[in-house]
Amino acid sequence: MLIGLGLGVPLVIAGRAATHLGLAAWHQRGGLPPVPDGFADDAGRFEQTPIAERISIGNADPVAQIRDAFARARVQGRPVSIAGARHSMGGHTLTKDALVLDMLGCNALALDERGRLRAGAGARWSQVVEFLAGHGRAPWVMQANNDFSLGGTLGANAHGWQHDKPPFVSTVESLRVVTSDGELRECSRTANAELFHAIAGGFGLFGVVVDMTVEIVDDEVYRSETIQCATTEYPEVFAQRVASPDVRMAYGRLSLDEHRLFTRALFTTFTRVPGATIEPAQRSNAMWVARAVFRAQTDSDYGKRLRWDLERWWGSEAGERVARSAILSHSVSGFSNRQPTRTDILHEYFVPHRSFVGFVAAMRQILPRHAVDLINVTIRSVERDDDSLLPYATDRMLALVLLFSVDHTATADAALADLNRDLVDAVLAAGGTYYLPYRPHATAAQFLGAYPQAPEFFAAKRRWDPDLLLRNRFFERYRTQ
Ligand SMILES: Cc1cc2nc3c(=O)[nH]c(=O)nc-3n(C[C@H](O)[C@H](O)[C@H](O)COP(=O)(O)OP(=O)(O)OC[C@H]3O[C@@H](n4cnc5c(N)ncnc54)[C@H](O)[C@@H]3O)c2cc1C
């Protein structure tokens, strides 16, 4: 009897988990409906916009191709928008009836004589990581996934698991850009400095970046380790565990189920293993399981508990030896939604380390008041950004990245907008900011609260592009002049 119970209970638990994962995988069949001809959209799928034409910019004399496109737009009286991998979510790559420059074909890669990366702005990180790994090198700062273009990464001034650096622009030494007058300009911190600082996090409003020179680092082997702590201890645990310079990357995650909402954190570090040999990256068969567990959280408190418990028991990557280039080789397709009636939406909030615990407590109060489905929260640290004209890292910040699964309806987008406005109020009260490439839910007043430099930013836009040739929906929503 006791033996029967001893075997029976685990079997029932495993059976429930397997049924739940199977059902969730079944809902993920199908795929997203295509965007109709003559329209374009972005990763959030809420910005479907009619466009005049998509123009692919390639590696054969991209400057001439961009100048031609500008000339055509002027003759036709149309605006120009710039698109990389289109993973922004607020129409940052779109304007109604625009000529849209698709930069992905402008992707030549080389190492210069000083070992820095020289990259076409349309190169995706997937191409860059593979190219650099062949030379024993790897990116220094990039996002947590590899789908994005370098131009789009600079346009948002992105960041990732590199905890001891400011955002991406801190690794960009110089760039070449075609401004709206058709001039090709070399920009750096010493040449055309105003333009350089405006382009970083400037969302394609100051010119088309053709290529850039980027500082990179050695590819190395890391040992990853995941620990669990109370969220209230997170800043302290973070400070202790990244104290060694051998800790090269770090990120955290928060518990999401109703009972433990935001109270527990998993913290993962990647520590250099000196002298270890880099093995060719191995694709793990566990990837599809990880995807199933991740998606099974959708609309399910049981699914959220299951993921937390599985990761708590096994650790997300604990103990594994992994090359830096392998960590930076994951596509968003590994976890992104495929259910035709839903979409994934991100929001991100930055707070100084000292304000983290208070902000998370505010999030815990605010979230249950809104009918939205939050399926992931990761935490990163980013150093202060003194480069960009619209900086989100105004201090040494902890970033909370919130991923929501929402119905693909205007009502669901509006519900998320309400939540986001409450969270933006809370983050501003905590002395923080929020990230601009996601849904433009924040009000104009909140935008100005987070980015008081905005009037200066838009004045610079007027100086560099007096006819407003380069436009997008983000600009149209938030412009102050
Ligand atoms: C699933 C997902 C995960 C993400 N993870 C992270 C993360 O870990 N960290 C992070 O910081 N962000 C993250 N992001 C946000 C992402 O980094 C930004 O949206 C980034 O801009 C995406 O790059 P892209 O090539 O898709 O850019 P796009 O969306 O194509 O463009 C972004 C902006 O850059 C401009 N631009 C693009 N190319 C050029 C060019 N050549 N010249 C001038 N302007 C240009 C565009 O006009 C636009 O305004 C994530 C987004 C998604 C959807």
Convert the pLDDT of each residue in 221-248 to its tens digit: 999 999 999 999 999 999 999 999 999 9
pLDDT in tens, 93-140: 999 999 999 999 999 999 999 999 999 999 999 999 999 999 999 999
Q: How far is the CA of 93 from the centre of ligand 1 (A)?
A: 9
Q: What pLDDT was estimated at residue 228? A: 95
Q: What pLDDT was estimated at residue 7? A: 60
Q: How far is the CA of 35 from the centre of ligand 1 (A)?
A: 19
Q: How far is the CA of 5 from the centre of ligand 1 (A)?
A: 53
Q: How confident is the model at residue 17 (pLDDT cuts 50, 70, 90)?
A: confident
Going 330 to 142 to 79 to 182, the CA torsion angle's sign is: negative
Is residue 378 within a helix (H) or strand (E), and if so which, with residue range?
A: strand 373-382
With a 6 A CB cut-off, is 87 part of the ligand 1 pocket?
yes
Answer yes or no: is pLDDT of 156 > 90.
yes
Q: How far is the CA of 23 from the centre of ligand 1 (A)?
A: 33
- Backbone dihedral angles phi then psi of residue 69, each to the nearest 5 degrees: -65, -40
Q: How far is the CA of 237 from the centre of ligand 1 (A)?
A: 31
Q: How far is the CA of 194 from the centre of ligand 1 (A)?
A: 22
Could you tell me which of 251, 247, 244 has the C-alpha nearest to residue 268? 251
221-450 to CATH, choices 3.30.390.50, 3.40.50.2300, 3.30.70.2520, 3.60.15.10: 3.30.70.2520
Minimum-distance ligand 1 atom for the alpha carbon of 208: 42
With a 6 A CB cut-off, is 143 part of the ligand 1 pocket?
yes
The angle formed by the CA atoms of residues 331, 336 and 341, to the nearest 5 degrees, is 150
The residue whose C-alpha atom lies closest to atom 12 belonging to ligand 1 is 158
Q: What pLDDT was estimated at residue 465? A: 98
- Which residue in this structure is represented by tokens 């986001």? 420
Dist. CA 459–CA 479, nearest whole Å: 10
Answer yes or no: is pLDDT of 313 > 90.
no
Dist. CA 202–CA 284, nearest whole Å: 37
Answer yes or no: is pLDDT of 285 > 80.
no
With a 6 A CB cut-off, is 179 part of the ligand 1 pocket?
no
Q: Beta strand 137-139 with 208-214: parallel, antiparallel or unpaired?
A: unpaired
Q: How far is the CA of 7 from the centre of ligand 1 (A)?
A: 50
Of 458 and 13, more confident: 458
Q: Which range (244-258, 267-281, 360-374) has the least confidence?
A: 267-281
- What value does the mean pLDDT take over residues 291-306? 94
Domain range list for the chain: 221-450
Task: Label residues 401-435 b or e (16+ Cβ within 10 Å = b).
Answer: bbbbbbebeeebbebbeebbebbbbbbbebbbbbb
The residue whose C-alpha atom lies closest to atom 11 belonging to ligand 1 is 158
Q: What pLDDT was estimated at residue 442? A: 98
Q: What pLDDT was estimated at residue 32? A: 80
With a 6 A CB cut-off, is 145 part of the ligand 1 pocket?
yes
- What value does the mean pLDDT take over residues 208-218? 98
Going 51 to 53 to 57 to 63, the CA torsion angle's sign is: negative
- Give pTM, 2 decimals: 0.95
Q: Which of 42, 93, 165, 343 to mutate to test the pocket of ligand 1 (most atoms within 8 A of CB)?
A: 93
With a 6 A CB cut-off, is 79 part of the ligand 1 pocket?
no
The residue whose C-alpha atom lies closest to atom 49 belonging to ligand 1 is 203
Out of 20-29, 269-278, 436-445, give the one with best mean pLDDT.
436-445
With a 6 A CB cut-off, is 378 part of the ligand 1 pocket?
no
The residue whose C-alpha atom lies closest to atom 31 belonging to ligand 1 is 152
Q: How confident is the model at residue 287 (pLDDT cuts 50, 70, 90)?
A: confident
Centre a 10 Å sphere on the Cβ of residue 310 and count the other Cβ atoms it contains. Answer: 15
- What value does the mean pLDDT take over residues 74-89? 98
Q: What pLDDT was estimated at residue 15? A: 85
The residue whose C-alpha atom lies closest to atom 45 belonging to ligand 1 is 204
Q: What pLDDT was estimated at residue 2? A: 52
Q: How far is the CA of 101 from the centre of ligand 1 (A)?
A: 15
Q: What pLDDT was estimated at residue 250? A: 98
- Which residue in this structure is represented by tokens 């998606």? 295
Helices (H) and strands (E) in the chain, counts: 14, 20
Answer yes or no: is pLDDT of 5 > 60.
no
Question: Which residues contact residue 5 at a Cβ distance below 8 angstroms, ignoring those fewer than 6 apart?
Answer: none
With a 6 A CB cut-off, is 151 part of the ligand 1 pocket?
yes
Q: How far is the CA of 86 from the centre of ligand 1 (A)?
A: 6
- What value does the mean pLDDT take over residues 401-412? 97
The residue whose C-alpha atom lies closest to atom 36 belonging to ligand 1 is 152
Q: How confident is the model at residue 89 (pLDDT cuts 50, 70, 90)?
A: very high
Q: How far is the CA of 313 from the centre of ligand 1 (A)?
A: 34
Q: What pLDDT was estimated at residue 36? A: 95
Q: How far is the CA of 9 from the centre of ligand 1 (A)?
A: 47
Q: Which of 149, 184, 376, 379 to mutate to test the pocket of ligand 1 (most atoms within 8 A of CB)?
A: 149
Could you tell me which of 157, 168, 156, 144 has the C-alpha nearest to residue 253? 144
Q: What pLDDT was estimated at residue 281? A: 60
Distance of CA 22 to the CA centre of its chain: 29
- What value does the mean pLDDT take over residues 313-341? 86
Q: Which range (255-259, 310-314, 315-319, 366-370) has the least confidence?
A: 315-319
Percent of the chain residues topping a pLDDT of 70: 95
Q: What pLDDT was estimated at residue 278? A: 85
Q: What pLDDT was estimated at residue 21? A: 81
Q: Which range (101-115, 259-273, 280-294, 400-414) has the least confidence?
A: 280-294
Answer yes or no: is pLDDT of 167 > 90.
yes
Question: Which residues contact residue 400 at a Cβ distance below 8 angstroms, ignoring those fewer than 6 apart?
Answer: 254, 348, 349, 350, 351, 359, 360, 363, 377, 378, 379
Answer yes or no: is pLDDT of 318 > 60.
no
Q: Beta strand 208-214 with 184-188: parallel, antiparallel or unpaired?
A: unpaired
Is 78:98 a contact under the CB 8 Å cutoff?
A: yes
With a 6 A CB cut-off, is 470 part of the ligand 1 pocket?
no
Q: What pLDDT was estimated at residue 18? A: 85
Answer yes or no: is pLDDT of 439 > 80.
yes
